[in-house]
Structure 1
Amino acid sequence: MTTRDKNSWILWAGLLVLFWGVWGAFSSQPSDRYGYPNEMIYVIWAFTMLVPCTIALRRGRFDRRPIAAVYGLAAGLTGAGGQLLLFQALSNGPAYLIFPVVSLSPVITVLMAVALLRERIGKLAVAGVIAALVAIVLLSIPAGAGGSVATGSWPALAVLVCVAWGSQAFFMRKAALAGVNDATTFGWMTLSGLLLVPVAVLIMGGLPDAPWQAPALTAGTQILNAVGALFLVMALSRGKASVVAPITNALAPVLTIVLSLLIYRTLPTIWATVGIVLALGGSTLMVYADEKRGDAAGPTEPSAAGP
């Protein structure tokens, strides 16, 4: 594998940040404008996954090996299942405490990648990872956080979401190292999301009454989320999970904040401002360290064929 091939993850991570950053700026519109339930947004997201999935499978061979199904379903169910758990946590807990806990999911990814995949990262990259992780937490603190803290199951649910989403990135990387191509992994992820649609409908207690603009707006925003998920698979098949996960989770909210500033004239909080600086600095360190490492870092790893 050439240095250029190894660094191709930067392109896909950049596209992921672009799509998820734009999605983040508009994702709340269906709920804000029409009171659309989060569970229904999940349902529509699950079906929008079919669009990039179809495109990917047309360009890539579907891997029928059991190992592909195991890692693909693991990545899909931890991602989609974590989303449904998040809805339950938010129903009885404060968002300003839940989101900082959930935002630590890249810590899980980094620990699993270093311990189980034997990924090695240099001192510069370690500093970048730490800066990015701190930035993720700061960027997830909502404005005006405070008030009474509700009791209930939300702390355990928030931790479960954190572990689930951190594990998802690990399973994506594990699939790539097993030689599973991107299209196959994303195909199983799409199937996983669709399998949990009945659970989301059950949580809602049935389909809601809403004007046509609500599902249309939801589909328009969630397609960005779905395409971004495909770019995440592609980035993780080419780059280290211990680097890709912190970078993408730190930079996507930065773009969302910048867009919110331009569109909604919403100024970032002091915490978000510090988080932006740390996210940019930490990501720069990690990319620089990866470029500097080149072919010399670690043994050559198999690369999954892209869609």
Structure 2
Amino acid sequence: MKGKRPQPWLIYALTTMMFWGFWGAFTNVPAQNGFPDTLIYCVWALTMLVPTVFILKRSKARIQLDKKSLLYGFIVGFLGAGGQMVLFYSLTIGPAYLIFPIISLSPVVTIVLSFFLLRERTGWMGAIGILLAMIALPLFEYSENNPDNDNGTLWFILSIIILIAWGVQAFFLKLANRTMQVSSIFFYMAIAGIDLIPVAIYMTDFSQEINWGINGPFLAAGIQILNSVGVLCLVYAFRTGKAIVVSPLTNAGAPLITTVISMLFLGLVPGWAKITGILFAVTATFLLALDSEKVDGGNNDFNQPLK
């Protein structure tokens, strides 16, 4: 008897995890080479145009310009890009070893909103998988190295803002997929990211020496395109799957892959926290994948035009 084909949302979610996993492993390399994080943001925003052009040509659909699409599109776009901009500043005043575990819990917001407002449900294996994924997230970012100065509480407030922004963004991403084409959603996400480029340039300290060579902006472009393609796959995953499952799966799976790649290619040996996170994430991914075979992942006609 032939095995059941994986649901489309799961394929897209796993693809997102793969692209984000490789992106996460190498994303800091250009900064280490002397290319500022704020300019890396600018490069990322521009790389978003590549999958945007691809999906627009592939779908041959017009950009939806009705009020609802404009609202959803820019909410998703500015929550994502705006959260990234706030993250840049928070990392300059606060401890990264605490900031990243906090913002990695953004799927909690998505799960709560999807559970109560979208009435999304999952089976018992999915519920356990979600729980393990939520436990795994902060473990991937945990560090035993404490900074000398935490610079007050502003970094904590900003971290909470990012957590809420990205959690709400994922919820609206699912909501937008009910009435919008993927091409329109991604178009607005790309435009929102580009709109914030002037802010990133303003935040850049041009008095420092900046690496404009191949291993600076050009390397950043090659790495950031992985992020952009991952975002496109994520939009498709939310289109055909449940936000209550897609969000924790991708947010736990991506750092899992990043950790493994860092071990294999960069020679980094993770501590006990990351090893525990790996075990939890692998188990969570397995359970969510199994549960997807039993619980309908949502509307699978993602290639059909919306009325």
TM-score by length of 2: 0.92
Q: Which moved more, 1:56-65 or 1:208-217?
A: 208-217
CA distance in 2, matches of 1:87, 1:29: 16
CA distance in 2, matches of 1:5, 1:263: 32
Query: Aligned runs of 1:288-307 on 2, under 5 Å?
Result: 288-294=290-296, 301=299, 303-305=301-303
Distance 1:211 1:306, change over 3 A: farther
- Which deviations, in whole Å up to 9, do the C-alpha atoms of 1:187-213 show, x marking residues without a partner? 000000001111111112559732322
Query: Aligned runs of 1:10-159 on 2, under 5 Å?
Result: 10-34=10-34, 36-60=35-59, 61=61, 62-142=63-143, 144-145=145-146, 147-159=148-160
Offset at residue 111 of structure 1 (A): 0.7
- Which deviations, in whole Å up to 9, do the C-alpha atoms of 1:213-259 show, x marking residues without a partner? 21111111001111111011011101000100100110111111111
Q: Does 1:196 align with 2:200?
A: no
- Say which SS state the counterpart of residue 171 (structure 1) adopts: helix
CA distance in 1, matches of 2:17, 2:198: 30
Indicate which of 248, 251, 254 corresponds to 1:249.
251
- Amino acid in structure 2 at the alignment position of 1:39: T
How many residues align? The count is: 298
Determine the structure 2 residue equivalent to 1:263: 265
CA distance in 1, matches of 2:127, 2:148: 35
Q: RMSD of the alignment, in Å?
A: 2.0
Offset at residue 66 of structure 1 (A): 2.2
Distance 1:23 1:268, change over 3 A: same
Unaligned 5+ segments in structure 2 are: none
CA distance in 1, matches of 2:149, 2:187: 43
CA distance in 2, matches of 1:76, 1:287: 28
Indicate which of 220, 223, 230 corresponds to 2:222.
220
- Say which SS state the counterpart of residue 177 (structure 1) adopts: coil
- Amino acid in structure 2 at the alignment position of 1:258: V
Q: Which moved more, 1:258-267 or 1:197-206?
A: 197-206
Q: Which moved more, 1:228-237 or 1:118-127?
A: 118-127
CA distance in 1, matches of 2:304, 2:191: 19
- Amino acid in structure 2 at the alignment position of 1:100: P
CA distance in 1, matches of 2:151, 2:71: 38
Contact 1:234–1:306 (CA under 8 A) maintained in structure 2: no
Contact 2:93–2:150 (CA under 8 A) maintained in structure 1: no
Determine the structure 2 residue equivalent to 1:236: 238
Query: Aligned runs of 1:280-295 on 2, under 5 Å?
Result: 280-294=282-296
Determine the structure 2 residue equivalent to 1:210: 211
CA distance in 2, matches of 1:195, 1:169: 20
Q: Which moved more, 1:248-257 or 1:115-124?
A: 115-124
TM-score by length of 1: 0.92
Offset at residue 294 of structure 1 (A): 3.7
Contact 2:240–2:299 (CA under 8 A) maintained in structure 1: no
